[in-house]
Amino acid sequence: MNAEILGPIVMFLLTLLTGLPLGKYIAKVFANEKTFLDVIMNPTEKFLYRLAGVDAQQEQNWEKQMVILLTINLIWFILGIFIFTNQSWLPLNPDHNSNQTLSQALNTTISFLVNCDL
């Protein structure tokens, strides 16, 4: 075997080494334990919750959670379609890319929405 094969092995091991502590950290975050980002993020989150008028302490069952998930996804879907079909006059488009056709916009939005980007 030559040196080329070392690359993937190093990548794999590095991922494992960084993944373990990250997993521990994620578990801590969601078990509502103290983590080092609390200083900045606690106020930020509180502000965002107040802005959105959401009570983040209230316990929900899974059906309620899935309804929320689908609703917010639907809002992004509509927003996405709007942006892609109107991008020629919207800001932050320095290259003046033209509007997408409806079927292309549909596909692009869906694929971003479902974490795929086909």
Binding site for other proteins (CB under 8 A): 4-5, 7-8, 10-12, 14-16, 18-20, 22-31, 35, 37, 41, 44-45, 48-49, 52, 54-66, 68-70, 72-73, 76, 80, 92, 94-95, 103-104, 106-107, 109-118
DSSP code at position 53: T
Smallest CA-to-CA distance from 81 within 100, 68, 98, 97 is with 100
To the nearest whole angstrom, how small is the minimum distance from the Cβ of residue 40 to other proteins?
9
d(CA 15, CA 11): 6
End-to-end CA distance of the chain: 35
To the nearest whole angstrom, how small is the minimum distance from the Cβ of residue 99 to other proteins?
14
Q: Is the CB of 20 or the CB of 90 nearer to other proteins?
A: 20
